[in-house]
Amino acid sequence: MAMQFINLGSLPDGVGGDTNRSANVKCNENFTELYKMSEVSGDEIDTLHKATKWLDGHKAGTGVNRDIAELVGLQKPLTIAQGGTGATHPLEACRGINALALGQANDSYNTELKNGVMPAIAHIGDHPRMLTLYNAGNQSASAVMTFHRGGQFACHFGLDTDNQLKVGGWSFGARAYRLYHEGNTIRAADGTLKAI
């Protein structure tokens, strides 16, 4: 029932307004409506209180929304502008934000790794590093990278398990060839280089 208003009539003496009886009838009906609305069981009030408390603890805040801990049931990925990646698959997500996907094939055309702070190679030491291929401390593992011309030739290059720079494997077969340089050769009297 909609709330009923008492007609006070015209000033100054209320001509045309509700009589005392009709005014009080409206008051009684309004109060009856309010009492009916308040006739809720204790269990229902408790349930409502718990639900309200849960909502207060799980609602998203305003502003920067630092209190959002989880998003459940999204039917569409958040866009980059919304703080998402615009994708549902990890690889597509990385591509969406121009990130490298570990353990996946990545397009590297026109990709540069820039670092303008490195001194001469002899003075770099063990820190800082730019790009490191690490054997994770496994003394039985080499630290190499692969060069591959699809359908033509492929090989590995890097530090072998004897700490020598080598190239080999794949198209070379089960062979690795040591790279000779000034640090592991001497020049003989006849001008030829000989391994140390």
List the domain boundaries for the chain. Answer: 1-54, 64-111, 121-195
Q: Which of 62-66, 94-98, 127-131, 185-189 has the lowest mean pLDDT?
A: 62-66
Query: d(Cα 194, Cα 164) in Å, to the nearest integer?
Result: 16
C-alpha–C-alpha distance, residues 19 and 65, integer Å: 57
Of the ranges 13-22, 69-78, 164-173, which is most confident?
164-173
Q: For strand 193-195 and strand 185-187, is the pairing parallel, antiparallel, or unpaired?
A: antiparallel
The pLDDT value recorded for residue 13 is 83
Q: How far apart are CA 166 and CA 169, in angstroms?
A: 10
Structure tokens at 24: 């009080």
Which strands, in side-by-side order, build the sheet including 165-168? Answer: 143-149, 153-159, 165-168, 176-178
Structure tokens at 145: 């990278």
pTM, two decimals, is 0.56
Query: What is the pLDDT at residue 62?
Result: 60
